Amino acid sequence: MVSIENLPELANEVLGGRRLDLAEALEILALSDDRLLELLSAAFVIRRHFYGKQVKLNYLVNAKSGLCPEDCKYCSQAKGATSEIEKYSLLSANEMVARAEQAVKNGASTCCLVISGRGPSKREVQTVADATREIKQRWPGLKICACLGILQTGQAEQLRSAGVDRYNHNLNTAEEHYQEICSTHTYQQRVETVQAAKSAGISPCSGLIVGMQESATQLIQALFALRDIQADSIPINFLVPIPGTGLAANALPLTPQYCLKVLCVARLICPTVEIRCSAGREKHLRTLQPLSLYVANSWFVSDYLTTPGQAEELDHQMIRDAGFEIETIPGLSEAEVEAPCAAATACCGGSA
């Protein structure tokens, strides 16, 4: 077994099935910035093995905004948050379909239908299911990810039968840190929802938010938990301290180099899964955003739930300039995509 002194060999061992332990993961996270390129190179070997140079783009539809009774301290939609955000009740199925068209035009291959709240009502599940059926009829290859909060018995099955491909519910942080960021529901309830989605045959998506005063050990524990629940997709958000939220004044300072190391350690712990460089990419990685592509195989494109992203043209340009390729929707004609490259010349869980 090699030490982290030999990162290329470590990457080969991870490809061979080696699982990092806590001490190793912490050592990698604490590597000097001078070794960042070496670490990115090792992570890229794994990323390229499983995903080539493909980048999956995901487009968020905020289908119900604000008015949430939960108190997640990172969230601008939470009870008690005084953030200036748009607040509206559930969009109609037709409105969701119209937003999905924008996902297609922006080159996304997954459309994420997200609502605020503790968990969906019967009507909300029905509306999302109706929208999903219509979207699938119009763009059969477009993947639908639902993010509706804590699910009740039978709701995952209802979504699955409507054609929902993926369900997002983030664990957000380590179990031992969870009470520090939310008091109205538990970490265990989040785990159970991810498991319910998986049991219903929906691909589980679950990630974390970096920068919520977690220790390095808690960050690694969260990644191990995501490995253990077998999330197929792991969005890694970097906390955007939105004014008016509980964590606005005491977010951890994040550097672009640290954010990249978090992505690398996630790739080494969970080598086979989709890793998405998510909310906070623009703010915290800044000019180093393209380097995240050597580790993550997925980005959000366009805006987040209550904060703006950057222009989709710029995202496309960064991806192409770095030599990566955007995953396309099978069977879609070029006319249906606005091809932003011509210019090149999250609810519940931190997709702020």
User: Can you give the binding site for ligand SF4, defined by CB under 6 A?
Assistant: 68, 70, 72, 75, 77-78, 116-118, 149, 347-349
Catalytic residue among 99, 111, 112, 166: 112
**Is 348 a known active-site residue?**
no
Considering the complex, what minimum distance in angstroms separates the CB of residue 147 from ligand SF4? 9
Nearer to ligand SF4, 107 or 349 (CB): 349
Nearer to ligand SF4, 77 or 292 (CB): 77
Nearer to ligand SF4, 47 or 177 (CB): 177
Nearer to ligand SF4, 75 or 251 (CB): 75
Nearer to ligand SF4, 129 or 348 (CB): 348
Amino acid at 277: C
Catalytic residue among 47, 68, 99, 147: 68
**Is 270 a known active-site residue?**
no
Catalytic residue among 47, 72, 281, 347: 72
What phi and psi, each to the nearest 5 degrees, are found at residue 223? -65, -40
Q: Three-state secondary structure along the chain? A: CCCCCCHHHHHHHHHCCCCCCHHHHHHHHCCCHHHHHHHHHHHHHHHHHHHCCEEEEEEEEEEEECCCCCCCCCCCCCCCCCCCCCCECCCCHHHHHHHHHHHHHCCCCEEEEEECCCCCCHHHHHHHHHHHHHHHHHCCCCEEEEECCCCCCCHHHHHHHHCCCEEECCCECCHHHHHHHCCCCCHHHHHHHHHHHHHCCCEEECCEEECCCCCHHHHHHHHHHHHHCCCCEEEEEECCCCCCCCCCCCCCCCCHHHHHHHHHHHHHHCCCCEEEECCCHHHHHHHHHHHHHHCCCEEECCCCCCCCCCCHHHHHHHHHHCCCEECCCCCCCHHHCCCHHHHCCCCCCCCC
Nearer to ligand SF4, 114 or 263 (CB): 114
**Is 347 a known active-site residue?**
no
Considering the complex, what minimum distance in angstroms separates the CB of residue 152 from ligand SF4? 15
**Is 75 a known active-site residue?**
yes
First and final C-alpha spacing in the chain: 40
Considering the complex, what minimum distance in angstroms separates the CB of residue 116 from ligand SF4? 4
User: How far is residue 288's CA from residue 351's CA, in Å, rounded to a whole number?
Assistant: 20
User: How far is residue 214's CA from residue 5's CA, in Å, rounded to a whole number?
Assistant: 26
**Is 182 a known active-site residue?**
no
User: How far is residue 112's CA from residue 61's CA, in Å, rounded to a whole number?
Assistant: 6
Nearer to ligand SF4, 40 or 196 (CB): 196
Catalytic residue among 166, 276, 277, 348: 276
User: How far is residue 280's CA from residue 80's CA, in Å, rounded to a whole number?
Assistant: 22
Catalytic residue among 111, 147, 182, 205: 205
**Is 259 a known active-site residue?**
no
Residues designated as active site: 68, 72, 75, 112, 145, 205, 276
